[in-house]
Amino acid sequence: MTGLQLDTLDYMHFCSMLFVVTEGWGTVTRRTLSISLLTIAFVLSGCGPRKPDFTVRGVGIVLNTSAPFAHSADFPGRIESTIDAALRFWSGSWDDIDGATIFLEDDQYVACNKSTTALGCFEPRAIHITTRDPSLGTWRCVEETVLVHEIGHAVVGDVNHDDPRWLDFVPVLEVLNGRSGYTDGGETSCPIYVNVWRHSLHSP
């Protein structure tokens, strides 16, 4: 971080740290204090909810992740086509998620209601997904994540997974399989494990 330029992953921490730093100030003149407070007030004016890094058909995308695939040149198109394939599978449309925001997280798990070990979570107007697998590490492409699963919740709800399509997903696999992935070392393959999308029926 240089000056007031913030990297994506520093944003939330920086906004909260501004308050903590002031607690360590010693005695300052009124003029210095006034200038400092004005500076902080100016910076904090941009410290509201994270703005999307980009949007796709009215859906905001927030990159709270260092996963290489999320920073590749083809990522906007890849996440758009992944969402589109999922919407078609669930007989939905882009209108079902218009105005929503998708958060891609570096953390191994995302908070989801009472669960602390969820790989993804849908709530009104927001989808949170991790970019890491508990066993395999960082995913190589967005298609490998649980995004396809969470789009299902955005379209049909069904928190108890009663719809038999939760055990299918083969049509989505046929559309998305065979794409490239990314690691710190560069471009590679990206095999899709359809079981990541699937869920046992009749259970939350």
- Tell me the pLDDT tens digit for each residue of 99-144: 999 999 999 999 877 778 899 999 999 999 999 998 889 999 999 9
Find, among 126, 128, 119, the residue nearest to 198 by Cα: 119
Contact 42, 81 (CB under 8 A): no
Banded pLDDT at 47 (limits 50, 70, 90): low
Instruction: Give this prediction's pTM.
Output: 0.78
Q: What is the mean pLDDT of residues 15-25?
A: 42
pLDDT of residue 48: 55
- The pLDDT score that the predictor gives to residue 81 is 98
| Burial class of 91 by CB neighbour count within 10 A (0 to 12, 13 to 18, 19+) | exposed
Handedness of CA 169, 172, 176, 178 (dihedral sign): positive
Greater model confidence, 62 or 45: 62
Q: How confident is the model at residue 17 (pLDDT cuts 50, 70, 90)?
A: very low
Q: What is the pLDDT of residue 70?
A: 98
Give domain limits for the chain: 8-44, 54-196
pLDDT in tens, 151-202: 999 999 999 999 999 999 999 999 999 999 999 999 999 999 999 999 999 9
How many Cβ atoms from other residues are within 10 Å of residue 136's Cβ?
A: 11
At 18 the pLDDT is: 42
Distance CA 23, CA 26 (A): 9
